[in-house]
Amino acid sequence: MHSLIGAFTQRQRPGSFQLVASYGEVRPPGPDAVSARQGPRFIATDPLHTFDKLLLTREIEERLLDCIAFVEVAPLVFDTWGLRAIEPHPSVAVNFRGPPGTGKTMAAHAAASRLGKKILLSRLSELESKYHGDGPKNIVALFDSAKEQDAIVFIDEAESLLSRRFAQPEQAAESAINSMRTELLMALDAFDGLAIFASNLPHSYDTAMESRLLNIEFTLPDLPTRRRIWEAHLVPGLPVDPELSIDRLASIDGVSGRDIKLSVITAAIGAARRKTVVTEALLVSALERQRRPPSAEQGEAGPPLDPQTAEAVKSRLRGSAKNDPAPPDGPAPSDIS
Ligand SMILES: Nc1ncnc2c1ncn2[C@@H]1O[C@H](COP(=O)(O)OP(=O)(O)OP(=O)(O)O)[C@@H](O)[C@H]1O
Ligand SMILES: [Mg+2]
């Protein structure tokens, strides 16, 4: 499955690296800098996705570019213009909220790529449980490691970390998460850079956290964006039926980018098995399977299609059944991103 991601080329904007590098150099080590490492070292990686592969509505893209611009112009504003006197640690913390498969992880990688930085990815479950009992230390170590490796921080599954504090924690777990939140607030205040959180469950925010966070809502793609996502995923090397209409595929509403990706992979596997080409019927059928309620074998899946879309999908299937009578076999591939 990595081949799909591997096919995404890395392209960085010329000059962006120097800008960010000089930002790192000019900052004098302050007395309040995160000091001696208190936990494990987290390893940053090169970003896997670039901005040109991320397809978003104009509004979401603009919000994302604003966050990136903050880090890009920080050397000018805080060092050359001297605003560091009033804000010693200019950082931006963003929360990507939205349904599964809408490009949140991809966007974090693309942001790192655009800034010429590495990405340090962790998830709350890892911070909490991998080094059990050391949650707050892990938070310190994460930000410490990001600073050392000139990386942006990306914390996935962040709901409970950003949620309202337990006023009177009753259990050890509640008290542990409170301590992690306190540590996170301090780490954010001492961090010079971009910290991204991702959450896809609704939650009520901790007020101290909310005052520091910018929220970007990732929605399911609209029609023009779905069209671009279909086009991007039906890669040039894929043997496709000349009758296939991207406009018809894009007209199927209520699907995420991941649904599209998985239907393309499923249909391609089905086509390869039958030594045929990828047809619209294979794609639509795979998309429908992808959207079925979860079963024991398939694990997580999106909600079922609404009745109108389901009917449109069925009639399309009936229409193209003569081209490809057999739906793809086997379970949908699980997603790896
Ligand atoms: N906006 C998008 N543009 C292009 N491709 C997308 C987009 N959204 C999703 N995809 C496709 O779906 C895959 C999964 O997306 P991603 O992992 O970024 O979703 P996510 O929002 O982080 O999901 P989750 O909430 O489950 O973590 C991507 O690798 C890509 O192939
Ligand atoms: Mg994700």
pLDDT digits (tens, 9 = 90+) for 280-314: 999 999 999 877 655 444 434 444 455 554 454 44
Q: Is the distance from the beta carbon of residue 258 to the nearest atom of ligand 1 less than 6 Å?
A: yes
Q: Are strands 118-123 and 92-97 parallel, antiparallel or unpaired?
A: unpaired
How many angstroms separate the Cα of 35 from the Cα of each of 29, 128, 176, 225, 296? 10, 22, 22, 45, 47
Closest CA to 146 of 128, 123, 120: 120
- pLDDT value of position 193: 87
Ligand nearest to the CA of 64: 1
Distance (Å) from CA 320 to ligand 2 centroid: 34
Closest atom, ligand 1, to C-alpha of 258: 12
Q: Provide the residue ranges of all domains of the chain, joining segments of one domain with +.
A: 1-30, 51-217, 223-320
CB 41 within 8 A of CB 145: yes
* Residue whose CA is at the smallest distance from ligand 1 atom 9: 257
Across all residues in the chain, what is the average pLDDT?
A: 78
Candidate from 201, 261, 265 with most ligand 1 atoms within 8 A of CB, to mutate: 261
Does residue 44 carry a pLDDT above 50?
Answer: yes
Does residue 185 carry a pLDDT above 70?
Answer: yes
Identical topology for domains 51-217 and 223-320: no
Q: Is the distance from the beta carbon of residue 337 to the nearest atom of ligand 1 less than 6 Å?
A: yes
- pLDDT value of position 133: 55
- pLDDT value of position 13: 31
CATH 1.10.8.60 is held by the domain 223-320: yes
Distance (Å) from CA 57 to ligand 1 centroid: 14
Does residue 53 carry a pLDDT above 90?
Answer: yes
**Ion ligand 2 neighbours, Cβ < 5 Å:** 104-105
- pLDDT value of position 132: 53
Distance CA 284, CA 106 (A): 24
pLDDT 10s digits, 122-137: 988 888 865 555 888 8
- pLDDT value of position 122: 92
Distance CA 18, CA 272 (A): 46
User: What angle do helix axes 58-74 and 16-26 make, rounded to 10 degrees?
Assistant: 50
Q: How confident is the model at residue 272 (pLDDT cuts 50, 70, 90)?
A: very high
Level-2 CATH architecture, domain 51-217: 3-Layer(aba) Sandwich (3.40)
Percent pLDDT > 90 in the chain is 49
- pLDDT value of position 38: 53
Residues 6+ apart with CB under 8 A from 279: 240, 241, 243, 244, 267, 271, 320, 323, 324
Residues 6+ apart with CB under 8 A from 221: 55, 56, 57, 102, 229, 255, 256, 257
Q: Tell how many helices (H) and how many strands (E) occur in the chain.
A: 14, 5
Q: Give the single-character DSSP code of 190.
A: T
